[in-house]
Structure 1
């Protein structure tokens, strides 16, 4: 039986649109533009649906602070003056300008509601009278993405303008929670600092400029590139300056740098016409077919930098006990050594989901490598130093050749 080969998504800079887009830039800026383009994360609709469905179910099953039953709603765009249940303002999702995201989220909510008992979730509570009759104790709002965080904040404010909902929350009869598939560092910080939500749960944090594996000088050059070539410099970093790098198969968020979305700009092409990559908030189907599932390669060495004076101890039992997951576990230990303890921060550092980061911390605790405060124990320091010092094992070593056409497949791995 022949196994079908798994298709690796192309790098964005290798696609036809990517090559054309890079022609917008002067010779000194091309490498920086390519680095920005190849730092995008392209999430397939299947991955999004499955991830958000499982995360939402997990939150409902395991969130101790969430009182039941919960009423579930998809976050939708709201005006600054909207008041929920007043003047035809309703939580009912009708499509709007959400680029398909709102309807997909609503479909996921229906799937989760059907799989859970009514003691856990209350279905189709689209009026305040139904919320009262069913004694809902939690309002759970669900969204695909918080780029700037403004949409989720505006939605919560629309609910809290309703005097009844505001009273329920003040008396702690109802709590408001937000569940996100992904959020930028800036967006998540704004949402939590607002105090509008009693709880915020995110599956993937980061996928933005602050979490990209760029050196300080690279970050400066990329930000300057976005400003220099943006048609409107005030929008150079995306909506509200959130500097996003996440793209969904079903929609292109507006918090991407504008040079990735604009149809006109300060091009250096001889014809004077800007070659777009994503035009506005859409992508050609062929482009998504090539890119879906793409994520930047991560540099594991960055997770072990900043350790100071490290001496090998010759332990390294971690390699034997957790060979399959050694890379993630070792990187987590490296970031804990630098003072990062929160699962969301560790998830961003290691480019895994937040639940996965929590599991890695639990594994480290079970192995005695970190304590209950997520600080490295003596055993943790010992293992981290030993793993860092171990040389890479190459199965077969071939003597290199200096001949100009020596086959690349026979060269020693680097």
Structure 2
């Protein structure tokens, strides 16, 4: 255990969870509704779906890349500073998304800028605070609570975003969201950790590079990263392209809004349950079940007739599995390697997730423009679900053993 977790005064669990959950609710809630802007923006600007999809794909990749450095900064300087910078970037990115008129500008604002903002306002940073401030026996549960907050944000914000678009137009809706995301600034003050007073973290057993080298050479870390790639591919493809998939098949836009809201609502249950079960059940078994269940649910969804009811049932069941990978994956990383460099290592795992997200959203746009259908990407999502279920089973969850002479070496 790190010197920080042993000696520095902790924030209260209620303070961490209330402020952290509110930040994730807002940040993730806005992000989950971006699929609602696909058709309004492409139609208004005369762009292809591939152009919009590429910007969202860049956003996910940017989120992953900047997430590594946001994690390093949070481990060294504390979460509060990173969250505040991320909130300002988020507001600027949403303004750019509303006002840019070129595909390049759209990719830079919607893609790079918002991606960097999400890196500093979502799970890697919030989970770092949880890892440092919540005792290990409650850590998986607390991560489930934070992930459930992100799911509640989807349930809350997606209908609000749909209402804003219909009531004020897509540009004004984005500018309203740009103002609302600045609420993260006062919430970040509630996550000011006393161990980081003066901007420096306490001494650690390993350097950043020792911790990273150890993790990258550890087989279970590699398997967790591969599984998280699949998670990103599936959820971002569905989240961004399902509204257009449903409209292409004759269903109203309201069905898509309700579907995304149902995913968010039921994900509150799924993520909380995954976090709570992670205290009692091997996390690798939870992850294998989630990925296999996703593959089965998608296959059934494609096999039955497409109706509003089938969409709502699919969304509800998929919602139980949506972000429920997050608590067991991150809790396993903390359990294996400890919390001293947890935000950074979580950032690397999440980078793999975002590469998957890039591929899912980009391939969805490319293959639709090439074939006029999303069928191929749905089938890829099924196959990847089976793959991820199998590779999570061999993960070792026990703490890594470090020799006295080589804290940075692989166990």
**Above 0.5 in TM-score?**
no
Q: Which TM-score band applies after superposition, normalised by the shorter structure? A: under 0.3
Higher relative contact order (CA 8 A, sep 6+): 2
Q: Which one has the bigger strand percentage? A: 1
Q: Which one has the bigger helix percentage? A: 2
Structure 1 length-normalised TM: 0.25
